[in-house]
Amino acid sequence: MKKLIISILIIITINSFAQKFPGLALTPPMGWNSWNTFQTNISEDLVKGIVDSLVSSGMKDAGYTYIVLDDGWMSMQRDSITGNLIPDPKKFPHGVKALADYIHSKGLKFGLYNCAGTKTCAGYPGTRGYEYQDARFYASQDIDYLKFDWCYSDSLNAVEAYTTMSKALKTAGRPIVFSLCEWGSNHAWTWAANVGELWRTTGDIYACYEGQKDMGTWKANCLMHIVDMNEPLRKYAGPGHWDDPDMLEVGNGLSDGENRTHFSLWCMMAAPLIAGNDIRKMSAETRSILTNKDVIAIDQDPLGVQGFRYSTKDSLATWFKPLNGGDWAVCFVNRSSQPQQINFNWKNENVNDTLSSLQLNAATTTYKIADVWTKKTSSTTAKPFNAAVQPHDVIMLRLIKQ
């Protein structure tokens, strides 16, 4: 009983601090972040080049909106008089407000990074003790998105730290999407729906397929390891509050099939789509993956339901995601190193999603089958679906209700 009372008091406390602006991130945020490719080696010219390429490549038209500067945009010390953060004058000689103006002139939105602790992960000034001042600074610079990390935070309570920053952003008066990046360490999905618009569910991603990458003092997660951790959390996600399995590594060294798998599963999981590649130099295949509007439409579906793994047999997983209007997304994922044969009899499978209370019953309803990667519409659910899926690749379908 004592534990129940404590839990109720925590929930009441969190709800009493609900400070979010209404109407933000009603679909998962889409954009680009500097970290995966450039780490702290960023500059005004580089970012402008990325912005121009994002527009010319078709990524803007596909829905990518936010340009986010990660760690390393600021000077090593705050202003000695005002205490304000200072954009690095060598990297950003015209400041971040001028860069925000340039980004906004392209019809895009601008984001910055900081940390809940005393320092950022790369050792730059953190926000601890400066929450309201930093929030006012971000508002004065016309920032639209804040990624808030969790380094140098050993003495902090995550609920209190992130709630304080959320309140500070609301008080500053500018609607800013708040991205909680505490790596899933404090189970933000259980308490952050009224604090921010998205929360990390795992540690950092790395451009590898299965398992983890040893980074010396810590381990980064390969994409399928992240999928396994994020999939069970689907009940916490929805419009305005999303599970975030980290940024995309599409175009950063994975095979084309692995890139398709990565992008497909992030879309099936209604994840934020934050590209992390050098889009100035991306291949035609990478571009085609990142700008596939039929796949993106599954991620951005307004129903906002995170998909689920329906079954797994011999390393072949079948995923489903209910969509607005009665359609369904289906993704067959081959995790093995050998081709796998799909033999799926729609009429024998009664797919019942207890979370959304929606049901796919092909015995009573016929759906047209559209392959969202090949753009082919070949059959209906009146017949079993038979196809071969290549190693580390996917076949992704949209079932269109007739």
- The one-letter code for the residue type at 78 is R
What letter represents residue 355's amino acid? L
Q: Is 204 a catalytic residue?
A: yes
Six-digit token pair at 6? 């404590």
Name the catalytic one among 71, 134, 204, 327. Answer: 204
Output the CA–CA distances (angstroms, integers) from residue 229 to 46, 222, 321, in the order listed.
Answer: 34, 11, 18
Task: List C-alpha distances in Å: 68 to 54, 173, 181.
Answer: 13, 20, 14
**Can you tell me the distance from the alpha carbon of 338 to that of 391, in angstroms, rounded to the nearest whole number?**
5
Return d(Cα 271, Cα 25) in angstroms, integer.
11
How far the first Cα of the chain sits from its last, in Å, is 51
Annotated catalytic residue 256:
no
Burial tier of 289 (Cβ tally within 10 Å: 0-12, 13-18, 19+) = buried
Q: Choosing from 88, 134, 149, 243, which is the catalytic residue?
A: 149
DSSP, residue by residue, 16-54: HT--PPTTS-SS--EEEESHHHHTT---HHHHHHHHHHH
C-alpha 8/C-alpha 342 separation (Å) is 47
CB atoms within 10 A of CB 325: 10
d(CA 56, CA 51): 9
SS (H, E, C) 280-294: CCCCHHHHHHHCCHH
Q: CB neighbours of 46 closer than 8 A, spacing ≥ 6? A: 38
Both tokens assigned to 343:
């033999």
> What residues does 380 pair with on adjacent strands?
368
**CA-CA distance, 260 to 389, in Å (whole number)?**
12
Q: What is the DSSP string of 343-366?
A: EE-GGG-EEEETTTTEEEETTT--
Active site residues: 149, 204
